Chains A and B, each alone.
Chain A
Amino acid sequence: MSIVTNDETLQFDTQHEDMIHDAQLDYYGKRLATCSSDGTIHVFEIKDNQQRFQEALKGHSGPVWQVAWAHPKFGSVLASCSYDGTVLIWKETAGSGFTVIKKHDKHQASVNAIAWASHELGPVLLCGSSDGKTSLLSFTEEGVWDVQMLRSAHATGVNAVSWAPVIATGAFTQGGATQSGGLVRQFATGGCDNNVKIWSYSDEKKTYEVVQTLEGHGDWVRDVAYAPNIGLPRTYLASCSQDKHVYIWTQDASSSDDHSGQNHSVGWTSRALSSTPFSDVVWRVSWSMSGNVLAVSCGDNRITLWKENLKGEWESISEINEDGHKA
Chain B
Amino acid sequence: MSRIKGVDKFVVEREKETALHLKPGVFPLGRQSEWAAQNRTLTFALHPLTAGVAVSVAGKVPRENISKDIKVYAPDERVYFCKTVAVSDARLPFANDTHAVFLAMQSIMGQDAEEVGVEGLLRMSALYREAMLQQVRMLQDGEQQQQKESEFVETEVEIFQSMHAIWHLLEIIYLTTNLPGLNTSVVPYYMEWLNFNFPAPLAEDGQRIADSARDADALNKNTELWPYLKKLALRGHMTTLANMLEQVAPAQDLSAPSARWARELARVSREMPLGTSDETTGSFNARWRRWSNETHDIATAIGSLFSDEKDDPPLRSLFRIAEILRGEVDVISEEGELWQDVLGAILLYSEPTAQADRLPTLAQVVLEQFQTDEFTQLDRALVALINHDLAEFLVYSNQIDNWLSAHTSDIMDHLGILEEWRSVFAVDPRAHFLHLLGEKYLSHQDLWHVGLDYFGQSKTLTGMSLVEESIVRMPLESDRKAQKMLDVCAKYGLSTAIDRIHRQLGRQKWQRGRLGAAIGHFARVGDRNAIGQICDQLWAEYLKSGKLTYGPIIDGVMAGGRLRHDRLQFLTQYRDFHESYKAGDFIAAGRLLLAILVDETAPLHAIPDLLVDAIPLLEGDSLVFSADDTFELMRCAEALTQSPLVKKSIDTAAADQMLPWSEESPATTRQDELGIFNVACARNLARSFVVL
Contacts and interface: CB of A to CB of B under 8 A. Distances in A.
Interface of A: 1-7, 9-25, 27-30, 32, 34, 36-37, 44, 46, 49, 62-63, 65, 83, 110, 172-173, 178, 228-232, 280-281, 283-284, 286-290, 292-293, 295, 297-303, 305, 308, 310-312, 315-327
Interface residues of B, number: 80
Interface stretch (B20-28, B536-544, B662-670): B20-28
Contacts of A5: 21, 23
A300 B20 CA distance: 15
Count chain A CB atoms within 10 A of each CB in B14, B19, B31, B469 and give the residue with the most.
B19
Interface string B407-449: 0000000000000000001110100100100010000000000
Contacts of B470: 289-290
B52 A29 contact: yes
A14 B55 CA distance: 12
Contacts of A324: 25, 27-32, 35
Contacts of A49: 81
The 4 closest A-B pairs by CB, nearest first: A312-B426, A19-B59, A325-B25, A231-B461
10 contacts: A9-B80, A19-B63, A29-B52, A29-B473, A110-B62, A290-B470, A312-B425, A320-B20, A321-B20, A322-B42
Contacts of B17: 1, 316-319
A17 B77 CA distance: 8
B475 interface: yes
B15 A172 contact: no
Interface in B49-106: 49-50, 52-60, 62-64, 72, 74, 76-85
B564 interface: no
Contacts of B78: 11-14
B18 A4 contact: yes
Contact of B36 (A10, A18, A37, A299): A299
Contacts of A327: 28-29
B554 interface: no
B394 interface: yes
A25 B47 CA distance: 7
A288 B469 CA distance: 11
Interface string B649-677: 00000000000000000000000000000
A19 B473 contact: no
A299 B35 CA distance: 11
Given A284-B43, A317-B16, A13 B62 contact: no
Given A321-B22, A322-B21, A288 B62 contact: no
Contacts of A311: 425-426
A23 B425 contact: no
Given A20-B77, A231-B461, A29 B47 contact: yes
A154 B282 CA distance: 83
A173 B427 CA distance: 18
Contacts of A303: 42, 44, 53, 55
A23 B77 contact: no
Nearest to B442: A290
Contacts of A297: 41-44, 58
Interface of B: 14-32, 35-36, 39-50, 52-60, 62-64, 72, 74, 76-85, 391, 394-395, 425-427, 429, 432, 435, 439, 460-466, 469-470, 473-475, 496
A179 to B, nearest CB: 13
A325 B79 contact: no
Contacts, number: 270
Contacts of A62: 62, 64
A228 B462 CA distance: 11
A320 B58 contact: no
A20 B56 contact: yes
Contacts of A172: 461, 465
B64 A63 contact: yes
B439 A290 contact: yes
Given A230-B466, A231-B464, A303-B42, 5 more contacts: A290-B439, A301-B26, A303-B44, A303-B55, A324-B35
B387 to A, nearest CB: 18
B81 A301 contact: no
B59 A21 contact: yes
Contacts of B435: 290, 292
B466 A6 contact: no
A289 B46 CA distance: 8
Contact of B84 (A289, A310, A320): A320
Nearest to B60: A283
B54 to A, nearest CB: 5
A297 B57 CA distance: 11
A311 B432 CA distance: 11
Nearest to A112: B62
Nearest to B32: A324
Contacts of B14: 2
Nearest to B465: A230
B469 A321 contact: no
Contacts of A293: 46
B46 A288 contact: yes
A1 B19 contact: yes
A293 B523 CA distance: 38
Contacts of A11: 78-81
A23 B43 contact: yes
B29 A323 contact: yes
B368 to A, nearest CB: 28
Given A289-B49, A320-B20, A28 B475 contact: yes
B21 A323 contact: yes
A283 B63 contact: no
Contacts of A110: 62
A256 B79 CA distance: 46
Given A29-B52, A320-B22, A320-B53, A299 B81 contact: no
Nearest to B503: A73
A1 B18 contact: yes
Contacts of A37: 59, 62-63
A178 B60 CA distance: 38
Contacts of B35: 301, 324
Contacts of B20: 3-4, 6, 318-321
Contact of A14 (B16, B31, B79, B463): B79
A226 to B, nearest CB: 14
A318 B18 contact: yes
Contact of A295 (B46, B394, B395, B462): B46
A23 B21 contact: no
A12 B53 contact: no
A23 B56 contact: yes
A2 B18 CA distance: 6
Nearest to B428: A310
A300 to B, nearest CB: 7
Contacts of A281: 41, 60
Count chain A CB atoms within 10 A of each CB in B52, B62, B394 and give the residue with the most.
B62
